[in-house]
């Protein structure tokens, strides 16, 4: 008989060991999946995790892309971790990412063809505001009408996707684009561009913002009163109320910060790697960032490492599709396995696995 025995206190070893175990189990299960698809599992795993960094033919392109892909994942995940620690579940970061991109790009397109150094900062503020405003919808509904923030924030993603499609074929469509959907290319204009800061590294302002967010979150969780309130609220909500924490205010704050950071990620993406508002602008960063947040144990430094790892699966996944003919759905399933196994093995933090019948006392 296999049974679970509650630990007296959470295991510190498994708290940090479960992400590593989840990655190993994902590789094993992913290898089985690739073998069932008729591909060499060892070659597939090597192509995903090794070749983008160390293969002579691909490394020169893939290494800079690592920061490009990791930047928005880290930025969004840091914001999500703030709410997740407090038991506030913002699942709609993808929608906030989209709305941040739309609002930020809207400022740049409205001022076209004006060239001014203040345009890009204004776009940054607009992007943060767009994500914040979209996140405040489930926050206000939660505090005023006790709605479920998971459902509301998730459903708003689909609303944002429709707004994005409407903008790409309507208000923001490039008048010189021959009728094709999509806005002007913001990366071509000096005032609205988010270029590579150090040639050949992939470092742009979005990556800088992600690193700054990691540092700020680490200080907040370790040294600031808000970090203490977030931690107490997540672990003991009743005790938090006795300590003077106002739940509604904390919900607004956590949802607002996570929405603003997601909006910034969208703005930096639309002014840099993506370059324009298009129907398929969103690529799932908001959902993947949830995996990154939990893989990093809701710790800013852990999120930094998890974001780089997840970015590697993006790049390696694209490479495996090109070199081995793996379907995109298989790569998405492989990434999803990571969250599945992480949640599955996470029980080892609070439980021991015991074998044999339970002894009766007395």
Comparing CA positions, the residue from 216, 177, 229 lying closest to residue 74 is 216
- pLDDT band, very low/low/confident/very high, at 359 (cuts 50, 70, 90): low
In a domain, 167, yes or no: yes
Quote the pLDDT of residue 289.
Answer: 95
Residues ≥6 apart with Cβ < 8 Å to 49: 27, 312, 313, 316
Q: What is the pLDDT of residues 290-301, one digit of tens each?
A: 999 999 999 999
- pLDDT band, very low/low/confident/very high, at 237 (cuts 50, 70, 90): confident
Quote the pLDDT of residue 44.
Answer: 93
- Residue range 6-21: mean pLDDT, rounded: 86
Residue 361 above 60 pLDDT?
A: no
Lowest mean pLDDT among 54-58, 168-172, 344-348: 54-58
- Residue range 48-73: mean pLDDT, rounded: 88
Quote the pLDDT of residue 15.
Answer: 83
The number of domains in the chain is: 1
In a domain, 244, yes or no: yes
pTM above 0.95, yes or no: no
State CA 359 to chain mean position distance. 45
Q: What is the pLDDT of residues 60-69, one digit of tens each?
A: 888 888 999 9
* HSE-CB of 163 using CA atoms within 13 angstroms: 18
Lowest mean pLDDT among 225-234, 252-261, 289-298: 225-234
Quote the pLDDT of residue 335.
Answer: 87
- pLDDT band, very low/low/confident/very high, at 263 (cuts 50, 70, 90): very high
In a domain, 313, yes or no: yes
Question: Do the Cβ atoms of 213 and 77 come closer than 8 Å?
Answer: no
In a domain, 1, yes or no: no
Question: Do the Cβ atoms of 141 and 110 come closer than 8 Å?
Answer: no
In a domain, 298, yes or no: yes
Q: What is the pLDDT of residues 191-228, one digit of tens each?
A: 878 888 888 888 999 999 999 999 999 999 998 888 88
Quote the pLDDT of residue 353.
Answer: 82
Give 247-254's long-range contacts (Cβ < 8 A, gap of 24+).
247/143, 248/143, 250/86, 250/88, 251/88, 251/139, 251/142, 251/143, 251/149, 252/136, 252/139, 252/140, 252/143, 253/226, 254/82, 254/83, 254/86, 254/88, 254/90, 254/230
Angle at 329 between CA 323 and CA 330, to 5 degrees: 60
CA dist 85 and 186 (Å) reads 36
Question: What six digits make up the tokens of 307?
Answer: 């974001």
Q: What percent of the chain has pLDDT over 70?
A: 98
- Residue range 123-142: mean pLDDT, rounded: 97
Quote the pLDDT of residue 310.
Answer: 93
Tell whether the torsion through CA atoms of 70, 122, 108 and 115 is positive or negative. negative
Quote the pLDDT of residue 109.
Answer: 92
Quote the pLDDT of residue 357.
Answer: 62
CATH number of 176's domain: 1.10.3470
Give 264 or 244, the one with higher predicted confidence: 264
* HSE-CB of 237 using CA atoms within 13 angstroms: 8
Question: Do the Cβ atoms of 343 and 294 come closer than 8 Å?
Answer: yes
Quote the pLDDT of residue 113.
Answer: 84
Quote the pLDDT of residue 360.
Answer: 55
Quote the pLDDT of residue 64.
Answer: 87
Quote the pLDDT of residue 39.
Answer: 92
CA dist 65 and 315 (Å) reads 7
Quote the pLDDT of residue 189.
Answer: 80
CA dist 347 and 1 (Å) reads 18
In a domain, 7, yes or no: no
In a domain, 361, yes or no: no
Average pLDDT, the chain: 90
Q: Is 283 helix (H, G, I), strand (E, B) or coil?
A: coil
In a domain, 357, yes or no: no
Q: Is 352 helix (H, G, I), strand (E, B) or coil?
A: strand
Quote the pLDDT of residue 210.
Answer: 96
Residue 358 above 80 pLDDT?
A: no
Q: What percent of the chain has pLDDT over 90?
A: 61
- Residue range 323-335: mean pLDDT, rounded: 90
- Residue range 35-63: mean pLDDT, rounded: 88
Q: Please give the residue range of the domain that contains residue 56.
A: 40-325
């Amino acid at each position: 008989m296999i049974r679970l025995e509650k630990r007296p206190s959470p295991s510190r070893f498994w708290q940090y060991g479960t992400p590593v175990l989840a990655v190993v189990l994902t590789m094993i299960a992913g290898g089985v999946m690739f073998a069932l698809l008729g591909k060499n599992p060892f070659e597939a795993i090597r192509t995903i995790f090794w070749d983008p960094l160390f293969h002579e033919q691909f490394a020169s392109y893939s290494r800079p892309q690592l920061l490009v892909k990791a930047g928005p994942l880290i930025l969004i995940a840091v914001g999500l971790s703030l709410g997740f620690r407090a038991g506030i579940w913002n699942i709609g970061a993808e929608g906030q990412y989209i709305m941040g991109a739309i609002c930020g790009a809207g400022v740049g397109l409205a001022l076209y063809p004006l060239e001014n150094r203040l345009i890009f900062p204004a776009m940054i503020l607009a992007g943060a505001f767009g994500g914040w405003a979209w996140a405040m919808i489930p926050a206000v509904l939660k505090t005023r009408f006790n709605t479920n923030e998971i459902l509301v924030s998730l459903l708003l993603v689909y609303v944002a996707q429709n707004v994005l499609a409407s903008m790409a074929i309507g208000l923001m469509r490039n008048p010189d684009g021959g009728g094709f959907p999509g806005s002007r290319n913001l990366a071509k204009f000096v005032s609205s561009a988010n270029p590579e800061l150090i040639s050949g590294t992939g470092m742009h302002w979005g990556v800088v913002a992600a690193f700054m967010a990691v540092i700020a979150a680490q200080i907040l969780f370790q040294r600031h009163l808000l970090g203490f309130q977030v931690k107490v609220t997540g672990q003991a909500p009743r005790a938090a109320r006795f300590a003077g924490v106002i739940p509604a205010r904390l919900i607004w704050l956590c949802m607002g910060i996570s929405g603003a950071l997601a909006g910034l990620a969208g703005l930096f993406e639309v002014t840099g790697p993506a370059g324009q508002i298009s129907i398929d602008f969103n690529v799932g960063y908001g959902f993947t960032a949830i995996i990154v947040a939990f893989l990093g144990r809701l710790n800013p430094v852990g999120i930094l490492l998890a974001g780089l790892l997840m970015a590697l699966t993006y790049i390696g996944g694209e490479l495996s599709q090109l070199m081995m003919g793996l379907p995109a759905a298989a790569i998405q399933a492989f990434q999803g396995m990571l969250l599945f196994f992480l949640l599955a093995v996470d029980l080892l933090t609070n439980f021991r696995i015991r074998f044999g019948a339970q002894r009766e006392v007395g």
